[in-house]
Chains A and B, each alone.
Chain A
Amino acid sequence: MRRHAFRAMGTEISVLLDDETTAAAGDRAIGAVADIFAAEEQRCSRFRPDSELSMVNASAGSTITVSAPLADLLRFSLRQAAESAGLFDPTVLGAVVAAGYDRDFDEVIAGARDRLHPPVACGRWGEVELQGRELRLPRGVGVDLGGVAKGWTVDLAAVAAVAEGVRWVVVNAGGDLRVAGDAPPVEVAIDDPAERGSSIARLSVAAGAVATSSTARRAWGPGAHHLIDPRTGAPSDTGIVQASVWAPTCALAEIAAKRALLGGRLGSDPAVVVTGGGDVVTNVESAEAAA
């Protein structure tokens, strides 16, 4: 099995490939994954002033033309916002910044940042206008595609890697992962939010994607973390501290994990959640029971 890792989007990206693939195909696949992450980070990062997303946010109040890939991602995000009745909200940028996450996370930690401002109201996703590639954000509204952009990029990268001739691939961006191609069951250990380095459960994933949302990660103080509850505009406090969800694609898994965590309950998607009291709740069938 071939393994390759690099950093992008503020996290570690790991690529697992089958070992029957030729070295040349493996190299091409890894190159394609790295290129896609570089391109999507440049498109979707809110920390790069020259990213396309930064230009979109700076143009709030006027209509601009965006690239086709960003239009696709925005359309997907707005549709998910509607389907979740706003529990997933791509317009939480103001609230995330107010909560203290106003720069690359390494710098947030270095600055031991506290909350910057009182909670900011969210829920203006319904006012975003997107027709084809023509986009208009309401004045004062910013888009944050953090997690969903990562999941979206994982999907693009996994599909591209298989197209380069590898039999199967696992692309994992800081815990948001996609299994693509003719893969054997992949063993996925779910981290314990209370204890780094140990796991609460292991999943066997034959296809599709798993994503995890956790209040224990990208946290910079008690009750200060990056998962904003759009209903309050403040970091979530729903009784669930971590949610790992399976879905056919990584972008969908990412949204489903956020919905489970912010909704404070296990939904219909296969999931493993950890409550604030430390209980592990799951609706995923055991491999033993299924045998």
Chain B
Amino acid sequence: MTDASARRTRLSKGRVRAVAWVAGGATFLTGIGILGAAPKPASSSAPARESRSRRPVVVHRVLRRVIVTEPAAGAPVRVIPASVGSGGPAGGASSAAPAPAPAPQTTTGGS
């Protein structure tokens, strides 16, 4: 490469400075754009507080936790599943068969 051809491709100081300003400005504007498009955290403005205070109270029914451990075997006692209705074993009988007699019922709860 000759000195003359190298002189032809080299940019002047002014042009280099202009290109640098354009690149820097574009980078700056891109950052602002990204920040603007990002979701904002909830602000503590008055309308937001109002909407929160108007939110209806939801009462959750707290169900008991049932923990089943290693079954004690051999005893003639069973837990009746909650799905089985009161008064005897659930389902299973055909319409022709007589309905099973309701199981005797009683309660226990300490005295």
Interface segment, A81-89, A180-188, A230-238? A180-188
**Which size bracket describes the interface of B in this complex?**
20 to 34
Query: Which residues in chain B, 71-103, are within 8 Å of chain A measured between CB atoms?
Result: 71-73, 75-81, 83-84, 86-89, 101-103
User: B10 contacts the other chain (Cβ, under 8 Å)?
Assistant: no
User: B55 contacts the other chain (Cβ, under 8 Å)?
Assistant: no
Whether A204 and B110, one on each chain, are in contact in the complex, defined by CB atoms closer than 8 angstroms, is: no
Q: Which residues in A have their C-beta under 8 angstroms from that of B64?
A: 200, 278-280
* Contact residues of B: prevailing secondary structure: loop
* Contact residues of A: prevailing secondary structure: strand
Distance A283 CA – B83 CA, assembled complex (angstroms): 19
Select one of B75, B106, B109 contacting A186, CB under 8 A.
B106
Whether A188 and B106, one on each chain, are in contact in the complex, defined by CB atoms closer than 8 angstroms, is: yes
Q: Which residues in A have their C-beta under 8 angstroms from that of B87?
A: 187
| 26 residue pairs A–B, Cβ–Cβ below 8 Å | A1-B104, A150-B111, A172-B106, A172-B107, A184-B101, A187-B87, A187-B105, A187-B106, A188-B106, A189-B105, A189-B106, A191-B108, A193-B109, A201-B79, A203-B80, A206-B76, A208-B76, A208-B77, A216-B110, A246-B77, A269-B75, A279-B67, A282-B67, A284-B71, A284-B72, A285-B73
Closest 3 CB pairs of A and B: A191-B109, A174-B111, A214-B110
Chain B interface (Cβ < 8 Å from any Cβ of A): 64-73, 75-81, 83-84, 86-89, 101-111
Chain A interface (Cβ < 8 Å from any Cβ of B): 1, 10-11, 14, 16, 150, 170, 172-177, 183-191, 193, 199-208, 210-214, 216-218, 242, 244, 246, 266, 268-272, 278-290
